[in-house]
Amino acid sequence: MMRTRPLKVALLGCGVVGSEVARIMTTHADDLAARVGAPVELAGVAVRRPDKVREGIDPALITTDATALVKRGDLDIVVEVIGGIEPARTLITTAFEHGASVVSANKALLAQDGAALHAAAEEHGKDLYYEAAVAGAIPLIRPLRESLAGDKVNRVLGIVNGTTNFILDKMDSTGAGYQEALDEATALGYAEADPTADVEGFDAAAKAAILAGIAFHTRVRLDDVHREGMTEVTAADFASAREMGCTIKLLAICERAEDGASVTARVHPAMIPLSHPLASVRGAYNAVFVESDASGQLMFYGPGAGGSPTASAVLGDLVAVGRNRLGGTTGPGESAYAALPVSPMGEVVTRYHISLDVADKPGVLAQVATVFAEHGVSIDTVRQQGKDGEASLVVVTHRASDAALGGTVEALRKLDTVRGVASIMRVEGE
């Protein structure tokens, strides 16, 4: 039966995502009411620029005083789509203190302060939902938190940044260099004027922290995530990848160690076989590949950014939280009971593709192979191409620790016959 008192919703932020949330709340009001069990009313919208025309939103709802809005005391749900750490963090905790549950799309805040925000929600008996914080419209948080709650997730391997996937896909399909592909991404509106957060992997690292925390029931903070950007990937790297039957993606990788006693989370460019489902994720799309004991392999795919897709995830949370409010209950909170240690990058074990420029003379290959052997790194394949007394040597290793590989490369750089280390790329997804 429909309850007549509406659920009051405040919107913090009315930009690309917030304006879509408001639009869909209005255009789908009847469906949302039927699904929640009560009308869902937009009770206020906090913005920075009150003079901007906001189609479909009653100007009387607009305010620049977000603090006063969340302190009203009659709100059921606060939707935070401002982004960044402050004032979002204070507004969310104030909303809990004043009786509201929160739906947020704020990956940076959740990756940094998720534990404290969950604690605040629990203290006040409220919900904190954030499906939109990772990979836009793709249902990922709820499947990991609820659908896979009875399984044991061992690995999450994802393309969680659309801008970088667009750039890498362009480099792969056209042979373009990084700068040329970035320029096109900027012209088409995928990359921001300052693309640092995307291309240096900060955005993906925040998402990796959130995914790892939920997947492994362990607190993983942004600082725990090893991060490397993709600005140094070259057209030559793509050519090498092709020769190995691979492509290159910027991956967020969250793994349980083989002995199950620790976890790791990292973001870096990596070669993956063309046969891997993630290799076929093109353009600005996102996809996340999950491996777990009972389910085996699952893949989640879709648009990872943009106003409308991100609003879809926000509204899904709004309906879920609304139902919880009406039922006088809350959904699942933080699950960090496993409290596994997060190991440093040196303990990650994977395969490597290393390109070296070397002198082409007797004994060089033996010298290089000896360095690998001395560091306990087993070579899988070696390919050499010589030209005018110099050669390019491509070594692909068996699985080795990042620390062992690092030591190998350091020693290789000291050899007189090694002119330079042209590139080092991890090989994943095999």
Active site residues: 207
By CB under 6 A, is residue 408 in contact with ligand HSE? no
Sign of CA dihedral 130, 133, 137, 138: negative
Q: Which is nearer to ligand HSE, 82 or 120 (CB)?
A: 82
Two structure tokens written together for 353: 């593709």
Q: Which helix (H) or strand (E) holds 253?
A: strand 246-256
Using the rule CB under 6 A, is 80 a contact of ligand HSE? no
CB of residue 72 to ligand HSE, shortest distance in Å: 30
Looking at residues 199 to 218 of the shown chain, list those that interact with ligand HSE (rule: CB under 6 A). 203
The DSSP call for residue 280 is G
Number of chain positions touching ligand HSE (CB under 6 A): 7
Closer CB to ligand HSE, 163 or 292, in the complex: 163
- Residue for token digits 């709340």? 25
Instruction: Compute φ and ψ for 122, nearest 5 degrees.
Output: -65, -40
How many Å apart are CA 294 and CA 86, to the nearest integer?
40
As measured in angstroms, the least distance from the Cβ of 269 to ligand HSE is 15
* 181-200 residues near ligand HSE, rule: CB under 6 A: 198
Report the nearest approach of ligand HSE to the CB of residue 131 (Å). Answer: 13
* Least distance from ligand HSE to the Cβ atom of residue 164, Å: 7
- Residue 276 CB contacts under 8 Å (≥ 6 apart), including other chains: 289, 429, 430
Q: Could you tell me the smallest distance in angstroms from the CB atom of residue 305 to ligand HSE?
A: 3
- Of all helices (H) and strands (E), which one includes residue 92? helix 88-97
Here's the x/- map for ligand HSE, 247-286, by CB under 6 A: it reads as ----------------------------------------
Beta pairing partners, 45: 11, 62
- Cβ atoms of 158 and 211 within 8 Å: the answer is yes
Nearest to 233, CA basis, from 174, 176, 156, 161:
176
* Footprint of ligand HSE on 23-62 (CB under 6 A): none
Closer by beta carbon to ligand HSE, 76 or else 198: 198
Q: Give yes or no for residue 305 binding ligand HSE (CB under 6 A).
A: yes
At 240, the amino acid letter reads S
Under rule CB under 6 A, which residues in 139-178 are in contact with ligand HSE?
Answer: 161-163
CB of 30 to ligand HSE, least distance (A): 31
347-406: contacts with ligand HSE (CB under 6 A): none
Provide φ and ψ at 285, rounded to 5°.
-70, 155
Residue whose CB is less far from ligand HSE, 137 or 358? 137
| DSSP secondary structure code for residue 278 in this structure | G
Place of tokens 């480099």: 171
Give phi and psi for 255, each to the nearest 5.
-135, 145
**Which residue's entry shows tokens 């362990």?**
218
Q: In the set 304, 309, 316, 429, which binds ligand HSE (CB under 6 A)?
A: 304
161 or 292: whose CB is closer to ligand HSE? 161
Nearer to ligand HSE, 142 or 375 (CB): 142
Do residues 317 and 333 make contact, with C-beta atoms less than 8 angstroms apart?
A: no
Say if strands 40-46 and 7-12 run parallel, antiparallel, or are unpaired.
parallel
Residues written for the chain? 430
For ligand HSE, give the closer residue by CB, 21 or 62.
21
What is the token pair recorded at 288?
């996340």
In contact, 209 and 249? CB cutoff 8 Å: no
Task: Give least dist CB 188 to ligand HSE, A.
Answer: 12
By CB under 6 A, name the binding residues for ligand HSE: 161-163, 198, 203, 304-305
